[in-house]
Chain A
């Protein structure tokens, strides 16, 4: 029955990450991430000094060995990494798309001065449009 604790924790972690995937993220999310990183580093040093802390922690949530707990945590963390990368790539894609679009438009004469439209102004357009579709 104690297993339920770790199951709930892992499911909650997975859901939280999925939620972040759908929700926005900004300064707050970044701050939370940085605080998490600091806490992680502190805990890492603690667990180096006292390796049994993982096992004690694992027992608390219903997992036998500390190594297993680390593995479970890693799986969830990896999922989080995938999600973050996905979002980051998506943002980058939007940015370089805008850049490429700007370049493409800059290289093309605007509609008011495009040779294709000017040259075919009256005469050629009349020739290529024997019937006005509107009439």
Chain B
């Protein structure tokens, strides 16, 4: 049995036909268990991901990225071998070697969650505006969840099975990132809070991810979804 058999990579997938083949292939080079949750894509994303070696679960209708993540959690939990779950973006902005480093970190056994952060070193170069928005979002998240993070809206995370079992994402759209942080912040194992740590990751901004990324308007939506949930 390979050592990565205890890890599942979960990718919410929605209309990424252009890049998903490459993203899955590079992930599959290091990880055997990759699941793409196709969220009702109108292009060939699901078939391409399947050809590249991912397990594909298809939502019958578009539900949102948060819902896709939860579906991925539920699927991976069916695998008794799964100990670690990685959430990974399908648009190619995350690096597989960052996942490897984060897994090595969680395997040390002193934390249950490893969050990726693009603000711990200077490899990621978000635009000034995006940086400001993300900073604001993380300030709000820290304030409301009692956690101390530098980057709350990063799609790259490694979660221990015990945490995945207790997560229940109901924010279908964008606010799920803060919801995950909030649920982890509120989680208790025998009266002690979840131990988490942040690892520096490189978020690659290409023209593709920039075009796909969130507009400033969506920040308003995220804030609204956070407050009225």
- Say whether A and B bind each other: yes
A residues with a Cβ closer than 8 A to B are 21-22, 86, 90, 93-94, 97, 100-101, 103-105, 107-108, 110-112, 114, 116-117, 120, 125, 128-130, 132-135
Which 5 A-B residue pairs are closest in the complex by CB-CB distance?
Answer: A111-B79, A133-B100, A134-B3, A108-B57, A133-B30
- Tell me if B58 and A94 are in contact (CB < 8 A): no
Return the CB mask of B82-120 against A: 1 if under 8 Å, else 0. Answer: 100000000000000100100110000000000000000
- Tell me if B75 and A105 are in contact (CB < 8 A): yes
B20 within 8 Å of A by Cβ?
A: no
Q: Which residues of B contact A116 (CB under 8 A)?
A: 50, 53-55
Q: Which B residues between 42 and 77 are near A, CB-CB below 8 angstroms?
A: 50, 53-61, 63, 67, 70-71, 74-76
Cross-chain contact of A104 among B30, B59, B100 (Cβ < 8 A): B59
Give the Cβ gap from B94 to chain A, nearest Cβ, in Å.
15
Q: Which B residues between 153 and 173 are near A, CB-CB below 8 angstroms?
A: 170, 172
- Once the chains are docked, how many angstroms separate the CA of A76 from the CA of B50? 52
Residue of B nearest to A93 (CB): B172
Residue of A nearest to B54 (CB): A116
Give the Cβ gap from B176 to chain A, nearest Cβ, in Å.
11
Cross-chain contact of A120 among B30, B53, B78, B103 (Cβ < 8 A): B53
Q: Which residues of B contact A132 (CB under 8 A)?
A: 2-4
27 A–B pairs (Cβ distance < 8 Å), ordered by A: A86-B228, A93-B172, A97-B63, A97-B70, A101-B71, A104-B59, A104-B71, A105-B71, A105-B75, A107-B58, A108-B57, A110-B79, A111-B55, A111-B82, A116-B53, A116-B54, A117-B32, A117-B33, A120-B53, A128-B29, A128-B32, A129-B28, A132-B3, A133-B100, A133-B103, A134-B3, A135-B3
Residue of B nearest to A116 (CB): B55
Give the Cβ gap from B26 to chain A, nearest Cβ, in Å.
11
B residues with a Cβ closer than 8 A to A are 2-4, 28-30, 32-33, 37, 50, 53-61, 63, 67, 70-71, 74-76, 78-82, 97, 100, 103-104, 170, 172, 228-229
- Tell me if A100 and B60 are in contact (CB < 8 A): yes
Give the Cβ gap from A129 to chain B, nearest Cβ, in Å.
6
- Once the chains are docked, how many angstroms separate the CA of A57 from the CA of B12? 57
Q: Given A101-B71, A104-B59, A117-B55, is A128 in contact with B28 using a C-beta cutoff of 8 Å?
A: yes
Give the Cβ gap from A91 to chain B, nearest Cβ, in Å.
10
Give the Cβ gap from B93 to chain A, nearest Cβ, in Å.
20
Other contacts beyond A97-B67, A107-B57: 14, CB < 8 A? A21-B228, A100-B60, A101-B63, A104-B37, A104-B60, A105-B57, A114-B55, A116-B50, A116-B54, A117-B33, A120-B32, A128-B28, A133-B4, A133-B97
Q: Which residues of A contact B229 (CB under 8 A)?
A: 90
- Tell me if A108 and B55 are in contact (CB < 8 A): yes
- Tell me if B78 and A125 are in contact (CB < 8 A): no
Residue of B nearest to A135 (CB): B3
Q: Which residues of A contact B103 (CB under 8 A)?
A: 133-134
- Tell me if A111 and B4 are in contact (CB < 8 A): no
Q: Which residues of A contact B63 (CB under 8 A)?
A: 97, 100-101
Give the Cβ gap from B27 to chain A, nearest Cβ, in Å.
10
Cross-chain contact of A129 among B30, B37, B54, B170 (Cβ < 8 A): B30
- Once the chains are docked, how many angstroms separate the CA of A110 from the CA of B172? 24
